[in-house]
Amino acid sequence: MIKYIFKRFFFALFNVFFIMSSIFIFTLFISISQRMRFTPFFDRISIVWIQYKNYLNGIIKDWYWGRSHIAQGNVWYAVVPKIKITVIINLIAFFIYTIVGIILGIITAFHKNRPLDYLIGNVALLFNSLPSFILIFLLVILLGYTFKIFPPLHLSKIYGYKKYYLSYAIPMLALVLPQIGYICQLVRGEVSEIIKADYMLLVRVKGLSKFQGLMRHGFRNVLVAILPSLSTTFTSVITSSMFIERVSNIPGLALLFFESLIDERPDGFYLVPDIPLLVLVCGIYSLLIFGINFIIDVLYRVLDPSMKIGSKKI
């Protein structure tokens, strides 16, 4: 088990390193090629390689991630204050849609083909069919401007802590509602199969209710079934949160990402990447995704030791 954990851990770190290195090399090569069109190809490759080695040496020796022309200083100190907001938003969304989706899935499974099942199922299907980047506009119009339940855009703390925290409600709903619908449908199908299993009939004979039998003997199988899907849904939430943070004007990593990628000028938009800033922001997003995937992989192995993720042997 320890060997497996270390293997998955170093695999995750390698993926993050590979993604960051690829972004640095390709964006730098494109940038150099635009400015040095008549320079021989291999000379441009040599320049990229030298700058890449200097970049790695700066990180390893001095923890220097490069200078950003947007932040006008060390990239690290520009990114660190933004990490907390993005990480908290995505992790809270992850736990909310996982817990609520499982609860609603169990409820609909126990009330299968009844009005409550149809109600929750249809609502879940509706939200599952709406992408987050479309849902955010509907929620802003309905909850923000029409009914004025929540602030339509992100507010700073100078407006008071109540309005500050309420301003996160619409972005959070846009992130979790589609995933709640997906997890609910997934859990409903799995629980419906489990409660019909032979061993659950034996549990009922022993005097336990359906719910007690599921919690004691079947819930582990439910988790094993949905864990791989939690990994993909979290990746979807991360990509959606980048757009939602930008639309809602939340001061997280997404704002830095778009600022590092696109240069907004009076005469239009230009693709002029701030390479050190872009690399670090993408690296943090990658670390967040692979970190959650690593935890899910370990939990999967703990819940079902007989199955090896990524292996042909089961």
Q: What is the pLDDT of residues 278-298, one digit of tens each?
A: 999 999 999 999 999 999 988
In a domain, 130, yes or no: yes
Q: What is the pLDDT of residues 130-176, one digit of tens each?
A: 888 889 999 999 999 999 999 998 888 888 989 999 999 999 999 99
Contacts of 79 (CB under 8 A, 6+ apart): 65, 253, 256, 277, 280, 281, 284
What is the pTM assigned to this prediction? 0.86
In a domain, 57, yes or no: no
Q: What is the pLDDT of residues 7-41, one digit of tens each?
A: 989 999 999 999 999 999 999 998 888 778 778 88
Q: What is the pLDDT of residues 242-264, one digit of tens each?
A: 999 988 889 899 988 988 887 66
pLDDT score for 122: 92
% pLDDT > 90, the chain: 50
Rounded alpha-carbon distances, angstroms, from residue 192 to 88, 109, 123, 165: 34, 5, 19, 38
266 has a pLDDT exceeding 60: no
- CATH number, domain containing residue 222: 1.10.3720.10
73 has a pLDDT exceeding 50: yes
The SS3 assignment for 300 reads: helix
Are 273 and 27 a contacting pair, CB within 8 Å? Answer: yes
Categorize the per-residue pLDDT at 270 as very low, low, confident or very high, splitting at 50, 70 and 90.
Answer: low
Q: Whose CA is closest to 146, among 157, 158, 137, 133? A: 137
Rounded to 10°, the helix 2-35/41-62 angle is 130
Q: Which phi and psi (to 5°) does residue 72 adopt?
A: 55, 45
pLDDT score for 312: 44
Cα 79 to Cα 225: distance, rounded to the nearest angstrom: 37
309 has a pLDDT exceeding 60: no
In a domain, 183, yes or no: yes
In a domain, 41, yes or no: no
Report how many domains make up the chain. Answer: 1
Q: How far is C-alpha 105 from the geometric centre of its chain's CA atoms? A: 22
Gyration radius from the chain CA atoms: 24
Least confident of 67-81, 86-100, 168-182: 67-81
In a domain, 123, yes or no: yes
Least confident of 96-110, 148-162, 182-196, 262-276: 262-276
Are 154 and 248 a contacting pair, CB within 8 Å? Answer: yes
Are 151 and 144 a contacting pair, CB within 8 Å? Answer: yes
Please, what is the average pLDDT of the chain?
88
Q: Quick one: CA torsion of 97, 189, 112, 201, rounded to 10 degrees?
A: -120
pLDDT score for 267: 55
Domain with 112, as residue range(s), is 73-303
Cα 288 to Cα 294: distance, rounded to the nearest angstrom: 10
Rounded alpha-carbon distances, angstroms, from residue 288 to 90, 242, 281, 284: 9, 13, 11, 6
In a domain, 137, yes or no: yes
In a domain, 30, yes or no: no
In a domain, 43, yes or no: no
